[in-house]
Amino acid sequence: MYRVYHRIERIAGNVITVQATGVGYRELAQVTSRRGTSLAQVIRIEGGRVDLQVFAGSRGVATDSQVRFLGHTMRVPFSQSLLGRVFTGSGLPRDGGPAIHENPIEIGGPSVNPAKRIIPRHMVRTGIPMIDVFNTLVESQKLPIFSVAGEPYNPLLARIALQAEVDLIILGGMGLKHDDYLFFRDTLEREGALSRSILFIHTAADPVVECLLVPDVCLAVAEQFALQNQRVLVLLTDMTNFSDALKEIAITMEQIPSNRGYPGDLYSQLAARYEKAVDFDTAGSITILAVTTMPGDDVTHPVPDNTGYITEGQFYLRNGRIEPFGSLSRLKQLVNARTREDHRTIMNTMIQLYAGYKETLEKQAMGFRMSDWDRKLLKYGRLFEEKMMDLRVNIPLEPALDLGWRILAECFDPEETAIPTKLIEKFWPKTAVTAAG
Amino acid sequence: MSNNVGKVVGVSGNLLIVEFEKPVVQNEVAYAVLGDVRLKSEVIRVRGHYAELQVFEDTTGLREGDRVEFTGELLSAELGPGLLTQVFDGLQNPLPKLAEKCGFFLQRGTYLDPLPRDRAWAFTPVAKPGQTVEAGDTLGTVPEGIFRHRIMVPFALAGEWAVEEIAPAGEYPIEHPVARLRGADGATQTVTMVQRWPVKIPIRAYAERLRPTDPLTTQIRIIDTLFPVARGGTYCIPGPFGAGKTVLQQLTSRYADVDIVIVAACGERAGEVVETLREFPELIDPRTGRSLMERTLIICNTSSMPVAAREASVYTAITIAEYYRQMALNVLLLADSTSRWAQALREMSGRLEEIPGEEAFPAYLESVIAAFYERAGLVRLRDGGVGSVTIGGTVSPAGGNFEEPVTQSTLKVVGAFHGLSRERSDQRRYPAIHPLESWSKYEGVVPAEQVAVARDILQRGNDVNQMMKVVGEEGTSIEDFILYLKAEFFDAVYLQQDAYHPVDAATPPDRQRYVFERLARILRTAMKFETKDAARRFFQRLTQLVKDWNRIERSAPEFAEIERRIEAMVSEVTEYV
């Protein structure tokens, strides 16, 4: 029943070409060579020749290796028994457990009808004030964490995985260092969160094509759980590796690059993954947090740039802190009106004053005399960084807001903050405040 | 069914290479047959016996040798009563109906009628038998929500036609014949309430195009006062991500003083469409007292939907906009974002292996963008009525750098430029339209000489601010420092607006004129302070007071009271008192 071919015409990069007929676009094939068996996917059909992308790489593939077309596209099993397990990008067990074959689902399925989406309503509490207060994470949101190599983005992701109030965590690792993979696995296990997690891990040592599959596999599984009324949080790290894998394939396929070697459809490719984030009308939701490392700390690099246009905001992780400038949760307005009436005001006022502090710092660095106002800002800025921005701070939203008021009262007079008079009357600490916190 | 068929010989992404025998038409619609689904596609290049087609759907599973059916028709939009309040995808599929049929996901190859066939409309004839009519002339009307929807002579009919027969007043479904026309050559034509028009060709059934002069108010102060938009004009909003393009578009769609708003969400986030979709039916349009949705139509091709349909979506949107313009209505088309459409062109161009221009965009990018914006305009119809299409397009420049092909091509053809700045959005100064870099060629709601005062203060205040970064506060004279504070004050209380506050979010034009006049007086007032700290404290207090003023309904008694307090505060520091 399967069509088998033995004559490979061209091998370039991870792409092989065979003469074949009746092959469907994106169909899977099995390539058997001396090195073993690997899956491959059709990426172009032209005039009787079929280009296939070999998941395990073309190394060791011979011109007479066997290519067997399977008649279906890439699938991944879906069942409750995935929980607590670790797989590769192709869905094979990585943890030594049994392989799972039941209920295969196709990956990269059609997009959700916008008419079946609802406006997100629920905040995802994380216990990190820089997220909860200033850039609230909302269920069904897609947010990247922009960072550079060396920043603690994986520990941050792990902490969110442990603390976030969701039903299920799916972690997708792309080009992950093996140590980092073990770190995630051990942390989740130690804190007892592995049983509500599924890991799909591609490490830097694995074939690059498998890296491309990781987001699709994670999101296909997440989608099925979400349809069963689960609130799923998908953590992806690192999407820049994913984009680089795309670039590698595109160049091999001799596509015209658009910007710094990346293919012209980078935006669409990234969007197809991120747009899987959804809050279903009458079912569960998918929230996506994805690390995107910025080569050279350059936000105008094509990967972070395209990502920023797709996602609903971004977190900047810099110097071990979530930067208040640039970081943005676009959906926060949907939830922070209903948390507490002072939430928005505290959020805006504290950031505006912190911007003032930054300007004062510049002036100070240039040796200008400090006015009274400057001194107040300096005091405020230091308190803010120490009590709020530090990533070790772990307090729920409401105490964090109270802390905000105390910091403001310690540094300023009420009218200097431009807070609406009504809120000042209600929340401004009445008695003289001692050290905040 | 068409008898012109071809067969697939190549598939790469959404590009098909098809071998054909009978003649094919450039840009005609064809269907690739995959089992029991038919995938809509468009011929975009022909070479010898091979046609290259862009497929508006996912091509997974297509095989060599699969059948392709050519239709001979260009990609067209269906026009008739029942368009408003709908939500379409780029190919004019009604999404809510699609959800009823297919569930949560967009199944490819499912095409539904854009307009409901079973709904009856109350037709009132206007034209009389024997009357001579031309394309675009009104034959009758039907009520569509708050509008009188004109049933017009199809735009595709050339020359003069005589009305032979017209249906009496009554309730008809859209496909029911309402008139019979006879042409000069004796040919007859039956007209129904629905017609089709190829989306890439502008509708030109009007007497003449006029110059856009009347302002289109958006109730956003910085736009209406400083960088106004005219009815029938064009404007663009380029900005880096996170600078608030979409929020600005959403506010405009809510408060703009036009009859109909068409939102073309092109290659952007689905979540944003959903907000409009779910919120608009609940919101009341203050102009009509009816639901905002009654004047709104959404075309959405979100970023995860097939790329080729993105291009179709902007053309479908502008065609529908032109259709309603023909009814002497003012239509605003908001396209978010034109960059995504340009990227779709780039992707296709890359697949076609065309020689790339700058940043791999095709060389024809500029002319395509220009032709699109030129479809905006103010027109006088043959019956003397006036209708307009205004286009507001956002641009998402790579890296927030305006020196890129899409922004530059757009700036050449628009009448107003609202450049969003990362700096201002980082400082939470919303809307983040840059007051010094943006421009507009149209007239606004506030007299130009008053605006000049404010512009001058903003410019000089900015100069002082730049200088202060070098010489510090102590090196700045108190006069200059006051100038800087005045600029900051005007920025904070007038240019910035709280989009989420029920009152501050929308400032009607008369309130803008009133408030601006008072603020301009404060800006012109010479003030005296002992120290810079005293000046700063004064302006901090004044800013807070005016911000409170902005948050109060104009009819409330506090409005006048706060105004008096502001005047009292200012008079205390006036130099000549």
Residues B554 and B487 in one domain: yes
Q: What are phi and psi of B335, to 5 degrees?
A: -110, 120
Compare all CA atoms of chain A with the CA of B404 and give the residue at the minimum distance: A259
A123 beta partners: A138
The count of residues in chain A is: 437
């205004």: which residue's tokens?
B390
Residues B28 and B150 in one domain: no
Assigned token pair, A5: 């071919």
Q: Which CATH class is domain A3-73?
A: mainly beta
3-state DSSP call for residue A68? strand
Distance CA A198, CA A403 (A): 36
Q: Find the CATH number of the domain harbouring B188.
A: 2.40.50.100
Q: Find the CATH number of the domain harbouring B242.
A: 3.40.50.300
Residues B276 and B291 in one domain: yes
CB B393 within 8 A of CB B248: no
Task: Determine contact: A109 vs chain B, CB below 8 A.
Answer: yes
Q: Per-residue confidence at A209, pLDDT binned at 50, 70, 90?
A: confident
Residues B99 and B69 in one domain: no
Task: Render B44-61 in DSSP notation, one character per residue.
Answer: EEEETTEEEEEESS--TT
Contacts of A256 in chain B (CB under 8 A): 350, 353, 356, 360
Distance CA A208, CA B493 (A): 54
Say if B535 falls within a structural domain: yes
Residues B133 and B260 in one domain: no
CB B32 within 8 A of CB B16: yes
Between positions 115 and 154 of A, the ones with CB within 8 A of B are 115-120, 140
Name the minimum distance, in Å, from the CA of A95 to any CA of chain B: 32
Distance CA B577, CA B574 (A): 6
Residues B164 and B212 in one domain: no
Task: Give the domain range for residue B142.
Answer: 120-193
pLDDT (tens digit per residue) in A125-182? 999 999 999 999 999 999 999 999 889 999 999 999 999 989 999 999 999 999 999 9
A86 beta partners: A199
Q: What are phi and psi of A259, to 5 degrees?
A: -145, 120
How much is the pLDDT for A433?
A: 53
Q: Per-residue confidence at A437, pLDDT binned at 50, 70, 90?
A: very low
Between positions 313 and 332 of A, the ones with CB within 8 A of B are 313-314, 325-326, 328, 330-331
Which residues fall within 8 angstroms of residue B342, CB to CB, at 6 or more apart?
Answer: B361, B365, B369, B405, B406
Say if B70 falls within a structural domain: yes
Helix H or strand E encompassing B562: helix B557-573
Q: B297 pLDDT exceeds 90?
A: yes
Distance CA A405, CA A431 (A): 12
Say if B394 falls within a structural domain: yes
Cα B288 to Cα B127, B202, B275, B295, distances in angstroms:
29, 30, 22, 10
Residues B241 and B368 in one domain: yes
Distance CA B88, CA B92 (A): 5
Residues B186 and B237 in one domain: no
Q: B577 pLDDT exceeds 60?
A: no
Q: Per-residue confidence at B470, pLDDT binned at 50, 70, 90?
A: confident
Question: Checking phi first, is residue A320 left (phi over 0); if not, alpha (psi -120 to 50) or beta?
Answer: left
Residues B225 and B170 in one domain: no
Q: What is the number of domains present in chain B? A: 4
Query: Which of B19, B300, B305 best probes binding to A when mutated, by most A CB atoms within 10 angstroms?
Result: B305
Residues B525 and B418 in one domain: no
């408030």: which residue's tokens?
B515
Put simply, the answer to whether A111 touches B399 (Cβ < 8 Å) is no
Q: A432 pLDDT exceeds 60?
A: no
Assigned token pair, B558: 């506090």
Q: Which CATH class is domain A78-242+268-332?
A: alpha beta
Q: Find the CATH number of the domain harbouring B504.
A: 1.10.1140.10
Question: What is the domain partition of chain A in residue ranges?
Answer: 3-73, 78-242+268-332, 343-427
Distance CA B433, CA B424 (A): 8
Residues B237 and B335 in one domain: yes
Q: B17 pLDDT exceeds 90?
A: yes
Nearest to B422 by CA among B441, B447, B442, B396: B396
How much is the pLDDT for B95?
A: 93
Residues B468 and B347 in one domain: no
Going by their DSSP bridges, the two strands B296-301 and B87-88 should be labelled as parallel
Put simply, the answer to whether B346 touches A344 (Cβ < 8 Å) is no
pLDDT (tens digit per residue) in B64-116? 999 999 999 999 999 999 999 999 999 999 999 999 999 999 999 999 999 99
Name the burial class of residue B577, with classes exposed (0-12), middle (13-18) and buried (19+) by CB atoms within 10 angstroms of its CB. Answer: exposed
Q: Find the CATH number of the domain harbouring B69.
A: 2.40.10.170
Sign of torsion over alpha carbons A105, A109, A114, A117: positive
Cα three-residue angle A323-A326-A328, rounded to 5 degrees? 95
ipTM for the whole complex: 0.84
Q: A13 pLDDT exceeds 50?
A: yes
CB A402 within 8 A of CB A410: no
């080009």: which residue's tokens?
A175
